[in-house]
């Protein structure tokens, strides 16, 4: 059985987080607090990593079977899955071989094939003979574009040689390039633009091969993007995972381009606010059945004019068009505001709306 840690409410949707080769479950530590608000998060250790005992594993299927045993022990018939590097490969193996078990997939700095098998067999032989010490010097530059996380480097130094080598053997035999089309769940493919181990081209190949895949490239991130650029990775995961209430409606009303820009600008300081508006504005109010979206757009336009929120007004003029209002109907709403909100407010609102309505389709 895999060694693992559980976080989040017991009633939350199950989410499994897989680590990368040489690290422990700490590789996901920057994301846990945000994910555990909604999900029941299971972070597992690879055999021989993070203080976990080694196990008899030779293939990626063996590692996938250990994940299924751990989730089965929780009574989870299915789960969302996200993994870094080999962790992402384990997720792909699960999605291909056990399609009913995986609800959604995120592959972070991962690949359909990690280079030639010979290189992995040579690394396995080196580690079996000399331990992980010879790998340390080159690893920091490969893992981090920013400051190195010493705890994760210590994980590599402390990894059990046989456990690490067994994972190398599994990577040597891993090649799902011809099977990506069998992944039938929504997939996030995230690449670090400065990743020398799995460069963005690997992510683009995954995104091209998986039918329902979204590709996100994170600037300033190397192979361990989750600690290297934690805010960008967290935002991408929260946008991808379908259990975040309101995200689907927010995208339908405001459009993917707007939401993607908002997510890209999210920081540690603004993340809780973005979470708040997604859950309550879009997950609670805009989803209520008492008013249709056309009517909610009319109400929203009026409120924004009344308070002079012109930047928000431009966004919601675009949203009103998506919700089925015509330019003439938007004009009628703004005429109404001239009486009840004041002519100067309506004058400014007409100027904003005219600019938006004149944008290229």
Give the model confidence (pLDDT) of 64-122 as tens digits.
999 999 999 999 999 999 999 999 999 999 999 998 999 999 999 999 999 999 999 99
Q: Domain containing 318 — which CATH number?
A: 1.20.1290.10
Question: Average of pLDDT values for 259-265?
Answer: 77
What is the pTM (predicted TM-score) of this model? 0.73
Band of the pLDDT at 248, cuts 50, 70, 90? confident
Band of the pLDDT at 268, cuts 50, 70, 90? confident
CA angle at residue 106 from 221 to 154, to 5 degrees? 50
Give the model confidence (pLDDT) of 149-188 as tens digits.
999 999 999 999 999 999 999 999 999 999 999 999 999 9
Q: Domain containing 128 — which CATH number?
A: 3.40.50.1820
Number of domains in the chain: 2
Mean pLDDT, the chain, as a whole number?
A: 94
Contacts of 174 (CB under 8 A, 6+ apart): 59, 60, 89, 93, 113, 114
> How many CB atoms sit inside 10 A of residue 145's CB?
21
The confidence score (pLDDT) of residue 324 equals 96
3-state secondary structure 301-346: HHHHHHHCCHHHHHHHHHHHHHCCCCHHHHHHHHHHHHHHCCHHHH
Band of the pLDDT at 243, cuts 50, 70, 90? low
The confidence score (pLDDT) of residue 262 equals 81
Q: Is residue 219 over pLDDT 90?
A: yes
Q: Is residue 320 over pLDDT 70?
A: yes
In this structure, the answer to whether residues 84 and 187 fall within a common structural domain is yes
In this structure, the answer to whether residues 217 and 301 fall within a common structural domain is no
For residue 231, give its domain range. 4-244
In this structure, the answer to whether residues 232 and 314 fall within a common structural domain is no
């Amino acid at each position: 059985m895999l060694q693992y840690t559980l976080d989040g409410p017991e009633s939350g949707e199950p989410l499994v987080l897989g680590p990368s080769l040489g690290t422990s479950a700490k590789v996901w530590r920057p994301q846990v607090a945000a994910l555990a608000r909604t999900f029941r998060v299971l972070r597992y250790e690879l055999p021989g990593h993070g203080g976990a005992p080694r196990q008899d594993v030779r293939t990626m299927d063996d590692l996938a079977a250990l994940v299924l045993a751990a989730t089965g022990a929780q009574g989870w018939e299915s789960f969302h899955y996200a993994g870094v590097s080999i962790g992402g490969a384990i997720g792909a193996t699960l999605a291909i071989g056990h399609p009913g078990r995986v609800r959604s997939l995120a592959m972070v700095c991962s690949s359909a094939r990690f280079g030639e098998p010979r290189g992995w067999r040579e690394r396995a032989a080196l580690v079996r003979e000399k331990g992980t010490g010879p790998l340390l010097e080159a690893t920091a530059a490969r893992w981090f574009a920013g400051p190195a996380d010493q705890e994760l480097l210590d994980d590599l130094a402390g990894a059990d040689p046989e456990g690490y080598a067994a994972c190398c053997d599994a990577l040597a035999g891993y090649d799902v390039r011809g099977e990506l089309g069998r992944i039938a769940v929504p997939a996030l493919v995230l690449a670090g633009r400065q990743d020398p181990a799995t460069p963005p081209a690997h992510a683009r190949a995954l995104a091209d091969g998986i039918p329902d895949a979204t590709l996100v490239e994170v600037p300033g991130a190397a192979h361990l993007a989750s600690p290297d650029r934690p805010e960008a990775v967290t935002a991408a995961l929260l946008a991808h995972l379908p259990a975040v209430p309101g995200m689907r409606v927010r995208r339908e009303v405001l459009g993917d381009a707007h939401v993607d820009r908002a997510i890209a600008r999210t920081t540690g300081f603004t993340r809780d606010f973005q979470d708040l508006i997604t859950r309550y504005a879009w997950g609670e109010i805009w989803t209520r059945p008492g008013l249709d979206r056309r009517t909610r757009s009319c109400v929203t336009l009026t409120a924004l004019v009344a308070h002079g929120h012109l930047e928000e007004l431009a966004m919601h003029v675009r949203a009103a068009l998506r919700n089925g209002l015509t330019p003439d109907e938007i004009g009628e709403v703004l005429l109404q505001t001239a009486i009840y909100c004041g002519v100067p407010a309506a004058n400014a609102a007409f100027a904003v709306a005219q600019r938006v309505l004149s944008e290229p389709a």
